[in-house]
Structure 1
Amino acid sequence: MPESFDVIIIGSGQAGNPLATAFAQEGRRVALIEKNLLGGSCINYGCVPTKTLLASAERAHHAYTDAQYGIEVELEDIDLPTIVERKDALLEKLRQGIHENLTDQENPVQLFDGHASFTAPHTLNVTLNTGGTETLTAPLIFINTGTRAAIPEIDGLADTDFLTPTTILNLKDKPEHLIIIGGGYIGLEFSQLYRRLGCEVTIVEESAVVLEREDDDVCEAMQQLLEGEGVQFLLGSQAHRVSQNAEKQFTVSVTTPDGERRLRGSHVLVAVGREPNTKELGLDKAGVETDDRGFVLVDDQFHTNVRGIYALGDVHGGPQFTHISYDDYRIVRDNILKGKKRSKKGRDVPYVVFTEPQLGRIGLSEHEAQEQKLDYRVASMPVKTIGRAQQTGLTKGFIKVLVDGKTDCILGTAVFCEQGGEIMSMLQLAMHGNITCEMLQDMIFAHPTWAEALNNLFSKLENPKKK
């Protein structure tokens, strides 16, 4: 007989874990099914491990460049195994914390280590990792299975030992030459990381620019930053064949605007996007609809087309960020447990590219404002004019902000700057509070801080240039 629960959550991600705890604290009987590791993508192969590795690369870079500050540091070698071990220790600590949070409470969540698949709309078969199966049923089921690295159809790629953004996190042999296929924010973060660890790095990107969804000035500044550190780019280029010889060396054949190129490297990282973990869920047996890419279709409150079945986090498509998944949880929690009426419609989507300097983004880009034919003004200020930047020597980048032409409220910003994510968050608060650019320009900020830049930024507002 099936084991009955009030709630079943498939996947231990940033929406699933807090939702399981919230239901359990309300006295519901909750089952949480996880095929791999507790914590989902953010903790195991996303934000936490990548930013932990980036922190080590940042330290190495500072050691290489400290002479300009009058400090001579001799860096003999990069100990990549120790860097990876530090990352692994943090992940294990976080996973243990999640396990304790789910199970060490008055009404513990029941964990199932295994793979879940639907056999009917509200019935799941769980193939346990330890062997055997369980059949579970519940009136409320939440799909929180996330995504995995998309693998493009490139001739010969499948026959090689290529890396994904997940497998590269465990790499303990420093690449001599890392070839990255994909110039999105994941590829860019890894390019700076491994370049700063002393590796040769080449990025192959199909579009004519990196970060193709950003404004041209942002794309150009990011490319110039990384090129200045030694990262090589092949833009408007397509990798069409990958091979690996007996010595494990790679050859990547690339069609470029200037003709055919053959790149030779020690490692290849494929970072061209993500695809949903839905193929083996048996969604057809539950009647749950997906789009042509396999993402679960949901409404603005994350209902699927089947009553009582929801999809949360990256698995339903849209912006794939931890903070968005967590907001999915809050919306569902409030609607079901607190009797509120909330939806995802119109919510902010802030994000940060964790290069150094960071790129913090919120709201409209200038390109989007032009497409919507909005009345706006724009201000752009180079970071090198900020006092704090001059004192620290962190002078690369710029801050750009769009302001509504009628209300003087902020429409969007791109902060490519040291502490870019934090400054962007300040502007996000101003957007929510309808604080005008004049109010920010006249506000008293402590000196000398990065925030002080907001006093001067808005004095540069002007009408957009005609194109």
Structure 2
Amino acid sequence: MKDQYDLIVIGSGPAGEKAAVKAAYHGYSVAVVEKNTRFGGAGTNTGTLPSKTLKETALYYSGFYEKGLFGVDKELERSANAQDFFFRKNQVVDSQEEGIEKNFRLHGIDTFHGAGKLLGPNKAGITGKDNCELNGKFILVATGSYPFQPEGIPFDGCYVHDSDTILQINRIPKSIVIVGAGVIGCEYATIFSVMGSNVKLVNSREEILTFLDREICHALQDQMKEDGVDFIFGNRVEDVAILPEEHEHNVHAKLTNGEPLQADMFLYAAGRSGCSAGLGLEEVGVELGKRGTIVVDQSYRTAVPSVFAVGDIIGFPSLASTGMDQGRVAVTHMFGLHEIEKISEHFPYGIYTIPEVSVFGITEDEAIEQEIPHVIGRAKYTDMPRGKIMGVDEGLLKIIVEKHTRTILGVHIFGKIATELIHYGMSLVENRETLSDVISRVYNTPTLHELYKYAAYNALIEGHYLDKPTGH
């Protein structure tokens, strides 16, 4: 260990890890400071990987995609308890954390455990297991975000949870109220409903996931209703109270319209804030934005030239995928490397609900608002041979196509492994490929990738480029 480095990274989540490794790969000395005992940040420990693993676990224990598929429903010898539910999640988290630590060792990166704080433009202090001061040519802040906890809600980590503590429950609730119909709220609503919980999803707006194409959004919402999620729109929750264990429902709350809510558990999943408190940022001249975020320029440099910031701490889009590349790009600008100098302005969204949703490019509403002459192509999972084999009874791939040039402008998918299928659609949009490009290619059959070809043919028909078929 030493006290002089080319780069000091505060935070070992996806953004911090990838930045540290890239700098070390190019021969620069790097120190990583992590306040928690485990590496990986929210991406590994409380967010991305745990929640997605729980989704797969819920599918396994519920037999969601296998019900009736082979003539008999899958039956478990015993019902799943919380220990079963979290078993695989814990394995994945442990394996990923070990992989991150190994990656640091492989690249000769020094690691320090403790709370980091900027003592100057080129100095950081560490308080905790490792008490010391480090000097660095550059400092990168990648401390991530934490769940927003509004006043008046008695978060106790037992009955009333945020998106961190919900991963530590010791039982699967019979009923749960979830506040917030964004990505996190919708993901957990589908997970718990599939596991048999009675789920009420409360949202102040009149619909979920407002950034999605409306047709795809409504398809997801309809499926969630079919799976037992009860939507309460245009309301907020107030006066949340925890009752003693002898009561039938441990959490009692009231909606803004006066209606009571009762459930075994309560999850508040509406917003996150940047982990910037206590870092000494403003003292050294770093500008802060809303909810504790850090203001940066296009190179991820703050108002202090030697200090950069990436990942959730800088706000939107707050995705692990974008944070990783932000970290890599920041290192490029720090050391003048002749590599990728900015990440793409456009990126896919993956929503790990049951079923999944993933999108890239413009929506149908955006095409209308921008007065782009367009046609729509659709293909259903149930019409695909692979879909029939898999036994899925829902799923839709939708493409937005510029009418005159037949260029594909947007791809929107609702259904199983949508987050995997979207990347081919992303390539189509980025390369401005046409319907002819899609239908001229040979795809493995039976596969779900045939959805693209069928959607392209459907767009050709809807755009009156082809006569409508009279049969199959």
Fold agreement, TM-score > 0.5: yes
Matching of residues 267-416 of structure 1 within 5 Å: 267-335=265-333, 336=335, 338-340=337-339, 342-344=341-343, 346-416=344-414
Question: Among 174, 177, 183, which residue is 2:175 paired with?
Answer: 177
Q: CA deviation at 1:309?
A: 1.1
Larger deviation: 140-149 or 416-425?
A: 416-425
> Partner letter of residue 367 of structure 1?
D
Question: Among 127, 137, 140, which residue is 2:138 paired with?
Answer: 140
Task: Name the residue aligned to 2:118.
Answer: 118
> Partner letter of residue 342 of structure 1?
E
Helix, strand or coil for the counterpart of 1:22? helix
Task: Name the residue aligned to 2:70.
Answer: 69
> Partner letter of residue 399 of structure 1?
L
Q: CA deviation at 1:339?
A: 2.2
> Partner letter of residue 278 of structure 2?
E
Q: CA deviation at 1:234?
A: 0.5
Question: Among 223, 226, 229, which residue is 1:225 paired with?
Answer: 223
Q: CA deviation at 1:263?
A: 1.1
Helix, strand or coil for the counterpart of 1:225? helix
- Distance change (3 Å), C-alpha of 1:156 and 1:86: closer
Task: Name the residue aligned to 2:254.
Answer: 253
Distance (whole Å) between structure 1 residues aligned to residue 423 and residue 195 of structure 2:
30
Distance (whole Å) between structure 1 residues aligned to residue 223 and residue 174 of structure 2:
21
Q: CA deviation at 1:426?
A: 0.9
Distance (whole Å) between structure 2 residues aligned to residue 309 and residue 64 of structure 1:
48
Distance (whole Å) between structure 1 residues aligned to residue 189 and residue 361 of structure 2:
26
- Distance change (3 Å), C-alpha of 1:65 and 1:447: closer
Q: CA deviation at 1:267?
A: 0.6
Task: Name the residue aligned to 1:3.
Answer: 3
Larger deviation: 239-248 or 219-228?
A: 239-248
> Partner letter of residue 47 of structure 1?
T
Q: CA deviation at 1:313?
A: 0.9
Task: Name the residue aligned to 1:42.
Answer: 43
- Distance change (3 Å), C-alpha of 1:61 and 1:28: same
Task: Name the residue aligned to 2:147.
Answer: 149
Q: TM-score, normalised to structure 2's length?
A: 0.90
Q: CA deviation at 1:63?
A: 6.6
CA contact (8 A) 1:118 1:283 kept: yes
CA contact (8 A) 2:58 2:85 kept: no
Task: Name the residue aligned to 1:99.
Answer: 101
CA contact (8 A) 1:183 1:211 kept: yes
- Distance change (3 Å), C-alpha of 1:446 and 1:340: closer
CA contact (8 A) 2:308 2:330 kept: no
* RMSD across aligned positions (CA): 2.1
Helix, strand or coil for the counterpart of 1:71? coil
Distance (whole Å) between structure 2 residues aligned to residue 273 and residue 20 of structure 1:
28
Helix, strand or coil for the counterpart of 1:180? strand
Distance (whole Å) between structure 2 residues aligned to residue 42 and residue 382 of structure 1:
32
Task: Name the residue aligned to 2:416.
Answer: 418
CA deviations on 1:194-213 (whole Å, 9 max, x unpaired) are 12222111111111001122
Aligned length: 453
> Partner letter of residue 411 of structure 1?
L
Q: CA deviation at 1:24?
A: 2.3
Task: Name the residue aligned to 1:444.
Answer: 442
Distance (whole Å) between structure 1 residues aligned to residue 213 and residue 331 of structure 2:
36
Q: CA deviation at 1:269?
A: 0.7
Distance (whole Å) between structure 2 residues aligned to residue 174 and residue 367 of structure 1:
39
Task: Name the residue aligned to 1:28.
Answer: 28
CA deviations on 1:409-433 (whole Å, 9 max, x unpaired) are 2211210022212221111112233
Distance (whole Å) between structure 1 residues aligned to residue 290 and residue 204 of structure 2:
22
- Distance change (3 Å), C-alpha of 1:156 and 1:142: closer
CA contact (8 A) 1:12 1:32 kept: yes
Q: CA deviation at 1:69?
A: 2.7
Query: What 5-or-longer segments of structure 1 have no aligned partner?
Result: none
Distance (whole Å) between structure 2 residues aligned to residue 382 and residue 421 of structure 1:
16
CA deviations on 1:62-86 (whole Å, 9 max, x unpaired) are 2795335312433331132023133
CA deviations on 1:243-302 (whole Å, 9 max, x unpaired) are 1112270012113xxx43211111101110211101221111110112132211111111
- Distance change (3 Å), C-alpha of 1:109 and 1:402: same
> Partner letter of residue 5 of structure 2?
F
> Partner letter of residue 245 of structure 1?
L
CA contact (8 A) 2:216 2:413 kept: no
> Partner letter of residue 10 of structure 2?
I
Q: CA deviation at 1:156?
A: 4.3
- Distance change (3 Å), C-alpha of 1:270 and 1:226: same
Question: Among 67, 89, 92, which residue is 1:90 paired with?
Answer: 92
- Distance change (3 Å), C-alpha of 1:70 and 1:95: same
Q: CA deviation at 1:104?
A: 3.9
Query: What 5-or-longer segments of structure 2 have no aligned partner?
Result: 464-472
Distance (whole Å) between structure 2 residues aligned to residue 158 and residue 94 of structure 1:
29
Distance (whole Å) between structure 2 residues aligned to residue 14 and residue 171 of structure 1:
25
CA contact (8 A) 1:64 1:73 kept: no
Distance (whole Å) between structure 2 residues aligned to residue 97 and residue 422 of structure 1:
23
CA contact (8 A) 1:298 1:305 kept: yes
Larger deviation: 400-409 or 165-174?
A: 400-409
Q: CA deviation at 1:55?
A: 1.0
Task: Name the residue aligned to 2:13.
Answer: 13
Distance (whole Å) between structure 2 residues aligned to residue 379 and residue 13 of structure 1:
39
Q: CA deviation at 1:27?
A: 3.0
> Partner letter of residue 154 of structure 2?
L
CA deviations on 1:180-234 (whole Å, 9 max, x unpaired) are 1111121111111112222111111111001122232222211110111111111
> Partner letter of residue 215 of structure 1?
D
Task: Name the residue aligned to 2:453.
Answer: 455
Distance (whole Å) between structure 2 residues aligned to residue 156 and residue 274 of structure 1:
15
Helix, strand or coil for the counterpart of 2:103? helix
> Partner letter of residue 141 of structure 2?
I
